[in-house]
Structure 1
């Protein structure tokens, strides 16, 4: 493996792709029936409602079917999940059939993602295409029972969908073998690196055969990411179907200058005046809970997800939001990585994000699949400079608005601990057994709090919130891969 140095970042060597496919190249009139995949798979795709591939699918699936490595940059909502699942399913069906007689199958395919929500959604997509093979794929991630996952692994699944942390732990304990993996997918590479998973990913990849097919997907592909993925792909086909280096032109970008204690009233005003679903971002878990409580008290159907919520609570919240039982979902950045909902009309940055990357990822949840969307960011007068910096960095232009100065002010009954204020979300003074802040992370211990709520937008109300073609001729190695694929 090459060493990442300052020189290699400033002057990276090219990735030497075999060829590059852009959105224009992929914009054809093909259907899934035109791909060189098995007829049963074509039939299942049709039955599941998949007819016309998106550009990233049209670009990535054909070379992936030939065994090429893939390096793709594609923004959220482009259909990238199917772009790696379809070649993977087709390959699994070609090289091996799942055992039905109790014999243990080796793990042949591995998908790594940054969060358990994303992993669960990928697994759901797999089961949608392969409904009769539910024992053939296993979810391995934190936040769920280790014993259950180990028991499922012992049955010999051919596909593992995992987050790096838990899988690395199983590897270290020799509870899982990856020596037969033929296909590796690294999805949302940029986010996995942002979340500190690089050491775990390196250990996992070292446990895989060098003779494998690798597909890497990232919203961005800066020099440091290119240097890392260089070690994992071999002469990849580059797929460039847009990146999240700047917001989509379909998203209307608004900024409201508003006092901190009037943010809830401004949000309530928007909810009453503008229809559609809302995804509201808070920088902290405590802030997310508080916003959700106040919105519910104001009569809005609201759900909340963050790292302190149990997996069942997060799943239920996402389900209710997706099915329209809740109009609003309040989330933190980490938890929101698992949100894949097509109908979000509004994204609201209740707190400013930590940087331009987080801003782009947040608002990428609206304006998806050709739809229009609205992204609204609340800034206090002191935060105007930060919003102007976002404009400069992303080369965008906000529509600036001044909030009504007569909006109702949120009332707080307790003194404010300025040391615990984060992102403009001034926290109430509270007893904590954990002192390192409240930024969301599923691996952090849960703060022990004594809570009190409030009336209108904040007076006290005790209690906690509840819930390409016809014939196939691929008997020999594909792209030099097969019985004697060498790297």
Structure 2
């Protein structure tokens, strides 16, 4: 196992991994609350793989439930990178992909199943999968699964599992429905909490740029051109995400887009291209971004303010992962000043107000718009502007 980890480039465990792996290997139940980007996937994969290497029985031994296809694909890929030659590949059971290949993986003896609740419930209903030899259940991003309406499917799935098993639950929050759900499925669990999950990581620099609505594309372009690493841009709507990606590509910035109207093959190609560096920018909506786990994202840009504060945490949590530094920039217009302040108060954070050199502040744009036109119908030149406008620009 150590050799496989070394070959995959994992040298030092994160705090979550260091705390969760030992009790996980011992077979204890775990309830872990942690921010995104803390290495949760390895925290449950390593105990699973260690147990599989010791246990030679046939059948599915571990089930990992996740909220999205994209996250399932990434968990399965990480499992396959660490499994070595003694273990078969993981069976990936998700919607939008070939059912034939999923059934073939089961037929060939996959020991680990990574699935989304909806598709797995369908497999159970049709008798395509059995869990009589299951030893470990993992609920990854449990709160997200409940938010997405998967509670009935999870109840149906867990009812089909052996009662004597290990359960590992990882969640951004462990309150309300999530707490009630996992309480019924664990026995004397080891409880682990790592920092506040309602605040961004301290490794992320938070900054905000005020811009006129018509000036936001230029502000975005300037931010991206000032950044050499990979960037994730968030839009509030599917149409907005398309417009942003199209604009960036016209500007020569290689960009891909994912949102709910994109087919699974398009979303997979976009995410794969971003992971492999073919695209420097990925534009996403909040819902479509769930499950995006790409290491080394340098900069997250909120082109639109999120609808709810929690989405801000999930957005900026895509950078500053695994001990790396990151930047999160938020664009806002004059009319959203109070919205941004309310977001800061709600989360207990401060976004440093910034301005890109050479781009006029929105107050300057507004005052210019209010300047009367001359008899010729033209606006005055910059040298003719009132002194208070020039002073604002210099400030």
Same fold (TM over 0.5): yes
Contact persistence 1:140–1:166 (CA under 8 A): yes
Shift of residue 147, structure 1, vs aligned partner: 3.0
- Which residue is equivalent to 1:386? 339
Contact persistence 2:4–2:84 (CA under 8 A): no
Mapping for residues 56-205 of structure 1, pairs under 5 Å: 56-96=16-56, 105-132=58-85, 135-205=88-158
- For the residue of structure 1 that corresponds to 2:206, the secondary structure is strand
Contact persistence 1:219–1:243 (CA under 8 A): no
2:81, 2:108 → 1: CA distance?
A: 21
1:198, 1:244 → 2: CA distance?
A: 22
2:50, 2:332 → 1: CA distance?
A: 49
1:207, 1:191 → 2: CA distance?
A: 22
1:246 aligns with 2:199: yes
2:228, 2:3 → 1: CA distance?
A: 38
Q: TM-score, normalised by structure 1?
A: 0.70
Mapping for residues 26-425 of structure 1, pairs under 5 Å: 41-96=1-56, 105-132=58-85, 135-401=88-354, 404-405=359-360
- Which residue is equivalent to 1:430? none
- Which residue is equivalent to 1:30? none
The C-alpha deviation readout for 1:64-83, integer Å capped at 9, x for no partner, is: 11111001112122111111
Shift of residue 48, structure 1, vs aligned partner: 2.7
Contact persistence 2:67–2:144 (CA under 8 A): yes
The C-alpha deviation readout for 1:111-143, integer Å capped at 9, x for no partner, is: 001111111111111111114367442000011
- For the residue of structure 2 that corresponds to 1:279, the secondary structure is strand
Shift of residue 255, structure 1, vs aligned partner: 1.9
2:94, 2:195 → 1: CA distance?
A: 29
2:201, 2:136 → 1: CA distance?
A: 32
Contact persistence 2:66–2:116 (CA under 8 A): yes
2:93, 2:201 → 1: CA distance?
A: 33
* Structure 1 residues not aligned, in runs of 5+: 1-40, 98-104, 410-487
- Which residue is equivalent to 1:427? none
Change (3 A) 1:88 1:351: same
- Which residue is equivalent to 2:385? none
Shift of residue 235, structure 1, vs aligned partner: 0.7
Contact persistence 1:244–1:361 (CA under 8 A): no
- For the residue of structure 2 that corresponds to 1:366, the secondary structure is coil
The C-alpha deviation readout for 1:57-106, integer Å capped at 9, x for no partner, is: 11011111111100111212211111111111111122225xxxxxxx42
Change (3 A) 1:174 1:96: same
Calculate the aligned-residue CA RMSD, in Å: 2.1
The C-alpha deviation readout for 1:411-444, integer Å capped at 9, x for no partner, is: xxxxxxxxxxxxxxxxxxxxxxxxxxxxxxxxxx
Shift of residue 401, structure 1, vs aligned partner: 4.0
Contact persistence 1:141–1:162 (CA under 8 A): yes
Contact persistence 1:260–1:380 (CA under 8 A): yes
1:275, 1:299 → 2: CA distance?
A: 14
Change (3 A) 1:315 1:399: same
Contact persistence 2:80–2:89 (CA under 8 A): no
Shift of residue 398, structure 1, vs aligned partner: 1.5
- Which residue is equivalent to 1:37? none
1:133, 1:144 → 2: CA distance?
A: 26
Change (3 A) 1:96 1:136: farther
1:313, 1:134 → 2: CA distance?
A: 31
1:224, 1:339 → 2: CA distance?
A: 24
- Which residue is equivalent to 2:390? none
1:324, 1:95 → 2: CA distance?
A: 38
- For the residue of structure 2 that corresponds to 1:152, the secondary structure is helix
Change (3 A) 1:340 1:178: same
2:20, 2:11 → 1: CA distance?
A: 16
- Comparing 76-85 and 303-312, the one that deviates more: 303-312
Higher helix share goes to which structure? 2
Q: TM-score, normalised by structure 2?
A: 0.86
Number of residue-to-residue matches in the alignment: 361
1:209, 1:71 → 2: CA distance?
A: 19
- For the residue of structure 1 that corresponds to 2:167, the secondary structure is strand
